[in-house]
Amino acid sequence: MKIQPIAHKTLSETVAGKLAASLLDGSLLPGMQLPAERDLMAQLGVSRATLREALKALEESGLITSRPNVGWFANAIDERNVAKARELMHAADGKPTVPAANEPPTGPLRIPVAPEKPLHIPNLHTDRLGTFEFISWWEREKVQNARVLVVGAGALGNDVIKNLALMGVGHIYIVDFDTIEAANLSRSVLFRESDNNRSKAEVAAARAKALNPQIHVQYLNGDVTTQLGLGVFRRMDVVIGCLDNREARLAVNRFCYWMNKPWVDGAIQELLGLARVFVPGQGACYECTLTEQALRDLSLRYSCPLLARQNILLGKVPTTPTIASIIGGIQSQEALKLINGMPVEPGKVIHYNGMVNEMHTTAYVAREDCESHWTYGQVTELPARAEHTTLEDMLRIARADLGPEAIIELDQELITSLKCSTCHTIEQVLKPLSAVSFEAGHCPTCGNLRETELTHVITGEENYLHRTLSSVGVPPLHILRAHNGQEYRFYELTGDLPEALHFHHFEQTGAPAPARGRVRIQSDEHVKDLPKSPAQGRVKLHE
């Protein structure tokens, strides 16, 4: 019987490949010491001779260095050794399994190496993203084409935006309604003392662009729950929530579910934090995680909608820049994983407790009766604009498709009147809930808080059908819902696209003014047929 030497050689190659993979994916960082030889032997289940052969191969490839009487150390991966590292890894079909000596073993890592990723040797003197080429899962094209919506530009948002800009995420859309005050400066890396009273979204966007001029940035100084059209969500790859209240999270959760987009939530308080990924149809969503009590609290808005809104605006949570970095870092990383098509764990939460440095992951249970679980069907793109299209126009379009019973459901409650039960007076209002302050809700005569009469459906019976969609609170590029009791249809105000969604806020230099005039449209017209510049005229529909 003959002993086959091939098996032995393959084993040492496998070991070298595993170690090379750990270097490539960053679990063995430059300068880190490898575990002691006897620990490596035990972990890998190989003999000393096999291990030494593998280490020698890595040393010859310039991937590790021996320090006499100390041990083995990882070298930096650069243009001189990356090809060799990949070769070793692929020869062994390597999966990284060996953590560094100064870290506890955590079991096999599941970071997949993009097999189709071409080996590209970057010029580190001229290419700002060059070092990322050495990261096995980072794919330049995916990252540069990515569109990420960041909701909230506070402590968490600052950190997330900074990370996305540095990592080269090509299109970042920032939303926040707040302005900068002195207390924000202690935990917001993008803000300066001279920014006092300026819009958080605008300043964060400008600083992201300054951090990385190669990316495109847009912002909205407004409220995500009412002022951002669903068409913006529809065109994003990932949404990141950097919010401090349940109402906004619930709104973002529903919008993402409707548009079938993944979103990454983060929450921080003092030294505690959590991060979680929600993907529609995969495990629990944010609303599934809310307790009965929380859902009851949220429905308070219906008994006193104006007060509920005011309370949201006042809610402040104490945070530090350190916890914001930790949780913001995890959120950014999860977003990058989603962009690169790597596996994530939707419906689970990562808890971090900075008091005792404990971190663990827990799965939520998806609720079958969850009201968020609804994804829009096919969206019809209309060349209409929120500012110029009336409720009557919209009803006509919907009824052409769905018949005369079709009604429109608005996403925001519309206040039709304010009633004083003391003075027996009724004031006609017709404004979206968000446009009426708590103070304005009080009776000008007796000062009592008045009753609000709300609606969110347009049936055709209203005496205000001539009003434009924007005057009743429909944001630009929104997607409206209509139904006839059996079937829903979805209509996007795609005519708003050139103004509502473009990533050139910090790049425009004397762009020509948009053309004025009247557009004649048909409801089956598609957005691609639209002229380049947005039309300003009132939309006229063919009968």
Give the interface with Zn ion as residue ranges (CB under 5 A): 285, 287-288, 370, 372, 420, 422-423, 443, 445-446
* CB 402, min distance to Zn ion, A: 28
Judged on CB neighbours under 10 Å (0-12, 13-18, 19+), 179 is middle
CA neighbours within 13 Å on the CB side: how many for 214? 15
Question: What is the 3-state secondary structure of 431-456?
Answer: EEHHHCCCHHHECCCCCCECEEEEEE
How far apart CA 413 and CA 301 sit, in angstroms, is 11
Shortest Å, Cβ 249 to Zn ion? 12
Strands 216-221 and 171-176, how do they pair? Answer: parallel
Phi first, then psi, for residue 537 (nearest 5°) are -70, 160
Both tokens of 144, joined, read: 């540069």
- Euclidean distance between the first and the last CA atom of the chain, given in angstroms as a whole number: 91
The nearer residue to Zn ion, 282 or 310, going by C-beta atoms, is 282
Q: Using alpha carbons, select from 77, 75, 71, 76 the residue that is nearest to residue 101.
A: 71
CB of 449 to Zn ion, least distance (A): 9
Sign of the four-CA dihedral 362, 366, 371, 373 = positive
Least separation in angstroms between CB 156 and Zn ion = 22
Sequence-distant (≥ 6) Cβ neighbours of residue 144 within 8 angstroms: 168, 169, 170
Minimal distance in Å, beta carbon 438 to Zn ion?
A: 16
**Quick one: tokens of 257?**
């579910």
Shortest distance in whole angstroms from residue 247 CB to Zn ion: 16
Q: Which is nearer to Zn ion, 259 or 535 (CB)?
A: 259
**Minimum separation from the CB atom of position 169 to Zn ion (A):** 27
347: left (phi over 0), alpha (psi -120 to 50) or beta: left
In this complex, which beta carbon is closest to Zn ion, that of residue 374 or of residue 403?
A: 374
What minimum distance in Å lies between the beta carbon of 444 and Zn ion? 8
All residues at 6 or more sequence positions from 436 whose CB lies less than 8 Å from its CB, including other chains: 306, 415, 418, 429, 452
Q: Which is nearer to Zn ion, 289 or 434 (CB)?
A: 289
Looking at the Cβ atoms of 446 and 454, the one nearer to Zn ion is 446
Query: Would you say 47 and 29 are in contact if contact means Cβ atoms under 8 Å apart?
Result: no
DSSP class of residue 472 equals G
In the complex with Zn ion, the residue whose CB is nearer, 19 or 418, is 418
Q: Which is nearer to Zn ion, 225 or 372 (CB)?
A: 372
Nearer to Zn ion, 239 or 394 (CB): 239
Using CA atoms, how far residue 497 sits from 77, 385, 396, 421, in Å, is 44, 9, 22, 44
CB of 321 to Zn ion, least distance (A): 32
Beta carbon nearer to Zn ion, 117 or 367:
367
Q: Please identify, using beta-carbon distances, which residue of 312 and 443 lies nearer to Zn ion.
A: 443
Beta strands in 70-223 (DSSP E): 71-74, 147-151, 171-176, 216-221
Minimum distance, C-beta of residue 451 to Zn ion, in the bound complex (Å): 11
Whole-number minimum distance, CB 428 to Zn ion, in Å?
16
Using CA atoms, how far apart are residues 279 and 348, in angstroms rounded to an integer?
A: 10
Residue with smaller CB distance to Zn ion, 294 or 423: 423
Burial of 149 (0-12, 13-18, 19+ CB in 10 A): buried
